[in-house]
Amino acid sequence: MLALLVIVRFSVYVTTPADKLLFTPGPLTTSATVKQAMLRDLGSRDREFVEVVRSVRRRLLALANVRQDLGFETVILQGSGTYGIEAMISCAIPPDGKLLALVNGAYGARIAHIARVHGIAVHEERRREDTAFSDADVAALLAADPAITHVSVVHCETTAGLMNPIEAIARAVTAHGRRLLVDSMSAFGAVPVDLRTLGADFLVSSSNKCIEGVPGFVFVLCNRAALLACEGKSRTVALDLFAQWRGLEQDGQFRFTPPVHALLAFSRALDELDAEGGVAGRGLRYRENQQVLLAGMTALGFESYLPAAVQGPIIATFRYPRDARFVFEDFYRRLSDLGFVIYPGKLTAEPCFRVGNIGRIGAMDVSALLAAIAATARAMGFDPSARAS
């Protein structure tokens, strides 16, 4: 049975046959055509590459329902998503500013840590990893501390897969005259965002998440007025958002070596996003993936960590079965040997593992994963429904 699963595992999408399917929050499974787009060399100062960068910047704004002529800009930086978060925090908040960091997972905590490293005053407000922030929470915190100038929030906190209601939070921030910074790393491209309505100064995401590109760069969508206010205020050289934007605007050039191949792949990934129906179409597939996953895991006896009200469509978290025969490292290895890669847990409260719904995978791939999980549970001899007594 286990050998058979390797044979029948397939993707309804065009992927590289030898690749394992990645049920992770990114890097993730990409299409063969996205990979193929990288198989060429292009000079970083070549006019064709400059046009690719210009097009990507414009198309990213369109995904957020804004344009340059409406007062918005895209800044692309080399590096992982955290580079963009650090650029946002270290550029946006002035020396006399204070950050309210909304923390209900590891990535909100990372924002607070970055602020402290840069000597920024920060109030770290924590909630449980299964509890979203509300507009009332934020309003009360802002009313209690007039020194707060900026608020940071993680859109999809992939520590557990929770969605924070950024539109409601944004209204509270605006009503109190403060500035909003959004980490939408794992949501942008599959969860609708209207940046003008939202009123955030900055929103950060990266190339290897819901747009299904490959790792290599991060992008920051900016309110132009807020970006211009960053001039000369960056606490770093490489992560200076204003300087990076000015270079891109002047001659289309990156200040330092650009991720050429990753940008070529990303341009192709944007084409494939458009072909799927844009943000709405991509989000629909991810939600369908998750519905199949949650129903199947529940049927097998696994317990989902998050309540349905805060569960996002990106990644789901499952409690460890309370059975001594369940050893996550063995479970993970066996699934990987069958061609399926899941994700370890990141919760501080209890042992869990995570399964992503994003990337170039569909409901049939999720069903194949569920069959592999069922077979692996039988082979290991543990009961997925075992609970603590």
pLDDT 10s per residue in the chain (389 long)? 444 444 355 565 555 567 899 999 889 999 999 999 999 999 988 999 999 999 999 999 999 999 999 999 999 999 999 999 999 999 999 999 999 999 999 999 999 999 999 999 999 999 999 999 999 999 999 999 999 999 999 999 999 999 999 999 999 999 999 999 999 999 999 999 999 999 999 999 999 999 999 999 999 999 999 999 999 999 999 999 999 999 999 999 899 999 999 999 999 999 999 999 999 999 999 999 999 999 999 999 999 999 999 999 999 999 999 999 999 999 999 999 999 999 998 887 789 999 999 999 999 999 999 999 999 999 999 999 988 54
Q: What are the residues whose beta carbons fall under 8 Å from the beta carbon of 91, sequence distance 6 or more?
A: 230, 233, 234, 235, 239, 240, 241, 242
CA angle 364, 262, 268 (to 5 degrees): 55
Q: What is the pLDDT of residue 118?
A: 97
Q: What share of the chain is helix, strand, coil (3-state, %, to 5)?
A: 45, 15, 40
Q: What is the pLDDT of residue 372?
A: 98
| CA 7/CA 20 separation, integer angstroms | 12
With residue 311 as reference, give the H or E element that holds it: none
Choose among 280, 283, 62, 64: nearest CA to 193.
64
Strand partners, 75: 220
Q: What is the pLDDT of residue 296?
A: 98
* 147-158 residues labelled b (16+ CB within 10 A) or e (exposed): ebbbbbbbbbbb
Q: What is the pLDDT of residue 2?
A: 42
Chain-centroid distance, C-alpha 374: 28
How far the first Cα of the chain sits from its last, in Å, is: 33
Inter-residue contact 198 to 166 (CB < 8 Å): yes
Q: In 3-state terms, what secondary structure has residue 54?
A: helix
Strand partners, 259: none
- Which CATH number applies to 2-25+278-380: 3.40.109.10, 3.90.1150.10, 1.20.1250.20, 3.40.50.300? 3.90.1150.10
- Which CATH number applies to 34-274: 3.30.450.20, 3.20.20.210, 3.40.50.1820, 3.40.640.10? 3.40.640.10
Q: What is the pLDDT of residue 4?
A: 43
Q: What residue ranges do the domains of the chain occupy?
A: 2-25+278-380, 34-274
Q: What are the residues whose beta carbons fall under 8 Å from the beta carbon of 46, sequence distance 6 or more?
A: none
Q: What is the pLDDT of residue 3?
A: 42
Q: What are the residues whose beta carbons fall under 8 Å from the beta carbon of 332, sequence distance 6 or more?
A: 342, 344, 353
Q: In 3-state terms, what secondary structure has residue 221?
A: strand
Burial class of 134 by CB neighbour count within 10 A (0 to 12, 13 to 18, 19+):
middle
| CA 47/CA 222 separation, integer angstroms | 25
Q: What is the pLDDT of residue 7?
A: 36
Residue that the structure tokens 């349905």 belong to: 308
